Amino acid sequence: MTRKLFGTDGVRGTANSYPMTAEMALKLGAASGRHFRRDGSNGHRVVIGKDTRLSGYMIETALTAGLTSTGMNVLLLGPVPTPAVGFLTRSMRADLGIMISASHNAHQDNGIKFFGPDGFKLSDDDEAAIEEMLESEISLAQPANIGRAKRIEDASGRYVEYAKTTLARGTQLNGLRIVLDCANGAAHRVAPQLLWELGADVIPIGTSPNGLNINLDCGSTYPRNCAAKVLETGADLGISLDGDADRVILIDERGQIADGDQIMALFARRWAEADRLHGGVLVATVMSNLGLEHFLQAHGLRMERTSVGDRYVVERMRQGGWNLGGEQSGHIVMTDYATTGDGLIAALQFLAAMVETGKPASILARNFEPVPQLLKNLRYAPGVDLLSKAEVQAAIVDGEARLNGRGRLLIRKSGTEPLVRVMAECEDEGLLSEVVNGIIAEMEAVA
């Protein structure tokens, strides 16, 4: 069955427009509840977390109604990071976990991400089964079997305590000054509390959500404010999370930004030296820089590339039995600790490296020289297939020919937004610009 609703990271769209309506959320709740309450008993439960978007109230309520209508008991976590939902789904022995978030997108977007009882995101088969159920009449529970809903007051605290266990016993962050940008999102309380409890001097920004300012000129997609604050305060490190805290970008004491590739390079080397990196493999996506691949090869390690999307990274990690992967955008997946990308735990591991080595962030966050890379996005109208246009195809063929043997070209549609992404890598930055801009110009001409 071809999936219509589910993209690379659950269901996503503009709030109060299909498919992000209260009606569809209610149906998704009922369908997912019926799918995971297979034996019809009343002992089944689902945990629901959310970020700080205004539309989260609407979607949370509708999902709860749909789930309880099929007999599922709902445990409401409130605003928590996405990885906390994965953790608490397992910890609380739930049959299903749901996170209401559109991650790094602006407030007008929202999404629904599903986690299975193992804490990992749903398989394609489960998503297809839920979609198929939406097209038929969903069997509801008898009146005496309708589910209950309960708010879990200490959900954030449970996650904080777990996150601390990912550090070696006795690890303290005393003496470290840290700028922490929470993107006015799901981690605006959890992250400052976690770092403070570990002894850090925390300078928080992006911790005043109002429902509309999530990811607005802040967070991992806009790290310049965090970088400026690091320089202003003389901080040792800047940590910039996204709206649901499943990704992180780091800023060293000089104000230089380190993306997910640099963070993964550090972890891969350190884990390999400690004989912790399973199979000597790091799983990354096609977007990761060639410089990272060359770095791994120089250390006798290997990169396994996947399609873009942390779910594909996790799937490949599980297939190969590997324990480290991620994306250039800042999703760092460490299956020793979490079932999905976890920006906070990744930041903790970086801080642990600073404490253990005594080296500044500027040394630890610069592991390789990136090959020049240029990425440009073009938004398209619904129903328009820019990549099928003859002029665009010709420009792509020409670009590939010009880069042949000198670099690489990657063109893809976003799985979460109506965007075409054009990315190329090449040591010749002039050629790089000509190829990317030429393809973008052709797409703009026919859009």
- Residue 185 burial (10 A CB sphere; 0-12, 13-18, 19+): buried
Candidates 52, 65, 134; CA nearest to 99 is 52
Give the angle subtended at the CA of 416 by the CAs of 117 and 225, to the nearest 5°. Answer: 100
Query: DSSP character for 97?
Result: E
Candidates 156, 170, 233, 158; CA nearest to 202 is 233
Query: Per the residue annotation, which of 32, 103, 156, 288 is the catalytic one?
Result: 103
Candidates 270, 365, 268; CA nearest to 322 is 268
Active site residue 41: no
Helix (H) or strand (E) holding 357: helix 343-357
Q: How far apart are CA 313 and CA 331, in angstroms?
A: 10
Give the angle subtended at the CA of 248 by the CAs of 247 and 251, to the nearest 5°. Answer: 165
Q: What does the buried/exposed string (b/e) look like for 26-56 if buried means 16 or more CB atoms within 10 Å of the residue's CB?
A: bbbbbbbbbbbbeeeeeebbbbbbbbbbebb
Give the angle subtended at the CA of 191 by the CAs of 190 and 192, to the nearest 5°. Answer: 100
| Strand 248-251 to 257-258 pairing | antiparallel
Task: Give the Cβ contact number of residue 249 at 10 Å.
Answer: 27
**In degrees to the nearest 10, what's the CA dihedral of 335, 337, 338, 343?**
-110
**Catalytic residue numbers?**
103
